Chain A
Amino acid sequence: MAALLRRILTHPLLALLFRLYMGGVFVTAAMYKINFTAEFATTIASYQIVPHWSVNVLAVVLPWVELLSGLMLIVGLRVKAAALVIAGMMVVFTLAILITLYRDLPISCGCFHTVDDPISWVTVLRDLAWLGMALHAYWFDRLLQLDQVFFRQLKEVEA
């Protein structure tokens, strides 16, 4: 049973599903932030974690990081790097939320929209779940990757 469970939990198909899901989540999140950069800057500033002079830069760049890493997950390009980047962002976001919860700041998550629900422990759990999915994809994903095409060519060269 444990083996079956382990097999299911480590199955590449599950990793593929997590990968596509996480890619979709980040692409969706990034689309709004890219279109409403000023609002996203306000959201960043509301967390009161980064210095004020870096807020706008982060607001301009971070959505593109999310978009590119999300697209890389979806198409299967440099999956491990993209998954690690996303996992890293999830760690940062989770820490930011935890800090915010600790400070008891009355702000919303701002993950997908400026007017999201206020930050809560549910948000933390959700982010932790997403972090797990990203790490799962990092460890077990090997299906439908663009890298595999290149990988196959490398193997042929090696042979």
Chain B
Amino acid sequence: MTAPDAVFSPGVEAAGPQKKLYHLRTLYEVTRELTGMTSISSILESFLPLCMGPVGASSGFVLIRYDDQTRVDLSSRGLAQEEVEALQQMTRELADKIFSSGAGLRTERSAPVVFRGRHLAREPLLPAGTEILVAFVLEQGVQGILGLGPRIDQAPYEQEDLDLVLGLKRSLRAVLQRAMAHEKIQAMNTRLEHQNLRLSAALQEMEDARDDLDRRALQLQALYDASVELSGLVEPHPILETFLLLVLGSFSVREGFLVVYDQGLGETEVTSRGLDPKEAEKLSTAAVRDVLFGLFVALKDRIPHIMESRWTTDPELLADVPGDVSAVVLFTVDEECRGALGLGQRLQGGGFSKEEHRLMSMLLSQFMVSLDNARHFVMAKRLNADLERRNLELEQTLADLTSARDEIDLLQTTKERILSLVHREKERVSHASWIDFAMLAVVSVVLGLLFNMASPSRLSLLPASMSGPSPETISRQLALAMHQEQQALFVDARPTEFFEQAHIQGASNIPLPLFDFVYDMKLSQIDPSRMIIVYGRTYSSHYDIEVVQKLLMLGHEQVFLLEEGLQEWPETMVEEGR
């Protein structure tokens, strides 16, 4: 684009009153016409003919260009289609060329720039024949360009026309600014509506979330209640009763039952609420057990795994289940423990929602955990009882073992003593001991004494010489005198063998064993008053005393015992032989 031929300031040159009035009326009409319009494109469409007509332009265009978007509002009159399309495509280049030319068009407060002259016809970006070009800034980043082609009468535009155009431009600018403000308000309204919609949606979502949270809170409360109530229980049956009450209350169910078959403990736990007593009694029967296990079989591949539960609501399957049940929840605690929860009709009618299914599943999980703990508790109790019993047995065994050990020790000691005794006895047996001699001596003495006492020829233990009265003795001198005078008869009381060795001359031998025989032969005829002197004794036998005693008994009056015996008798008066 080339520099304009001249730049006019509006209203500088005075016009005729009629024309001025016309122009003012035109401005008034245009302003009135455009006032109230809110669409930029409609404003442009309406403005262009209203602008071209008063100045007699054969063609023209007006466009609005926005910096921050590709949008271009364009309206044209009297231009060929190709020119309109070219203008539409080249709008941004044209605007850049005009508004970056240093003409001071930066803000909405900047005065419009008017290009006028023949040189505009050489500008390729403009439609052919453009004679007036007015550039203005609507607001920051929004520019407008008004272009007018030659007048219909081919006459050049006058200053009044240009002033009118500038006046119209001002009106257009004001209307456009209002329209743009309206558009902005509309856009803001639209955004606000959208935001309102989003807010409503968010509010709805929030309400849904709150409802969901309420449900979850309810579920959690139910779970918490179940957890609290079940946690304090350690026996299976109270757990069943508590859980059934909790479930019936939480789900508003009229009646129900809970059965657990525990093969591990070998027990069946049954509890029910609201059931007819006859129906409740059936729960413990084998028939119902078969029916409930039949439900497990009927589930086939949906059989609950460990710590899982499954719902069964098929009326055909539940036909044989006791009570007016609408659903049975089967559960498996472990391989040895299964059970069924029977639920009757609900107080408010209807079935169970998915949420309730989930809640029931969670409650049953909690229940199964508690039941499993209780089973382990029972098992532990049984094991403890068994352990206590085994402990007692072990203690008894230990006591027995200790006793046995003591006994063994005692036996060992006894054995050692016995072995020692045996050893000593062996030693004793293999050798002669003083006991043997003592025993032999004692037995011999006893037997000898007993036999001697019983024998007819019993022998006095003391010799007769010690038992009788002491005989009268005669001294050796007196005896010698009596021997010499032959006043006495000398009797040798020793055995014959000793007598033959040596005896007093003239003495008669009367050995004690042969006393009676020899006495009859030798002394029976002598005078009983004749003196008889008896001698003959040894260390081991006092023959003389015994013979004296016998002679005295036979009536001899003077029987004396020779003192000092044969040993002190004079050898000259001793002889040998018979």
Contacts and interface: CB of A to CB of B under 8 A. Distances in A.
A101 interface: no
A52 B541 contact: yes
Contacts of B501: 106
A17 interface: no
B567 interface: no
B431 A80 contact: yes
Given A37-B457, A53-B463, A80-B431, A106 B419 contact: no
Interface in B459-474: 459-463, 465-466
Given A37-B459, A81-B433, A154 B540 contact: no
Given A64-B447, A64-B451, A157 B419 contact: yes
Interface stretch (A7-15, A19-27, A42-50): A42-50
Given A80-B432, A147-B429, A158-B419, A52 B445 contact: no
Interface string B494-513: 01011011000000000011
A65 B451 CA distance: 13
Interface in A115-159: 138, 147, 150-151, 154-155, 157-158
B109 interface: no
A75 interface: no
Contacts of B461: 56-57, 60
B443 A68 contact: yes
B436 interface: yes
A48 B540 contact: yes
A149 B324 CA distance: 96
B541 A53 contact: no
B429 A154 contact: yes
A98 interface: no
Given A49-B540, A59-B459, A157-B418, A81 B437 contact: yes
Contacts of A82: 436, 440
Contacts of A83: 432
A83 B440 CA distance: 12
Interface string B99-118: 00000000000000000000
A71 to B, nearest CB: 11
Contacts of B512: 42
A41 interface: yes
A44 B426 contact: no
Contacts of A147: 429
A150 B445 CA distance: 27
Interface in B519-566: 538-542
Interface string B411-423: 0000000110011
Given A45-B538, A55-B463, A55-B541, A60 B419 contact: no
B440 A81 contact: yes
Among B433, B540, B542, chain A packs the most CB atoms within 10 A around the CB of B540
A78 B436 contact: yes
A91 interface: no
Nearest to A148: B429
A29 to B, nearest CB: 14
Contacts of B80: none
B572 interface: no
Contacts of A42: 495, 512-513, 541
B356 interface: no
Given A81-B432, A154-B429, A44 B459 contact: no
A96 to B, nearest CB: 11
Interface in A47-103: 47-53, 55-57, 59-65, 67-69, 72, 78, 80-85
A45 B419 contact: no
B380 interface: no
A86 B451 CA distance: 22
A42 B494 CA distance: 11
Contact of B437 (A37, A46, A52, A85): A85
Nearest to B541: A45
A69 B448 CA distance: 14
A56 B462 contact: yes
Contact of B448 (A41, A46, A49, A63): A63
B422 A52 contact: no
A65 B440 contact: yes
B484 interface: no
Contacts of B422: 154, 157-158
B459 A60 contact: yes
B541 A61 contact: no
Given A45-B538, A55-B463, A158-B419, A61 B448 contact: yes
A38 B457 contact: yes
A117 B85 CA distance: 193
Among B425, B437, B445, chain A packs the most CB atoms within 10 A around the CB of B437
A65 B449 CA distance: 12
Contact of B513 (A39, A63, A154): A39
A38 B426 CA distance: 42
Nearest to B436: A81
B423 A46 contact: no
B440 A34 contact: no
A52 to B, nearest CB: 5
Interface of B: 418-419, 422-423, 425-426, 429-433, 436-437, 440-441, 443-445, 447-449, 451-452, 455, 457, 459-463, 465-466, 495, 497-498, 500-501, 512-513, 538-542
Interface of A: 34, 36-39, 41-42, 44-53, 55-57, 59-65, 67-69, 72, 78, 80-85, 105-107, 138, 147, 150-151, 154-155, 157-158
Given A42-B541, A78-B432, 5 more contacts: A55-B540, A60-B448, A68-B444, A84-B432, A107-B497
30 contacts: A37-B452, A42-B495, A44-B540, A45-B541, A46-B540, A49-B539, A53-B462, A55-B463, A55-B541, A56-B459, A60-B448, A60-B452, A61-B444, A61-B449, A62-B448, A65-B441, A68-B440, A72-B440, A81-B432, A81-B440, A85-B437, A85-B440, A105-B498, A138-B432, A151-B430, A154-B422, A154-B425, A155-B426, A158-B422, A158-B423
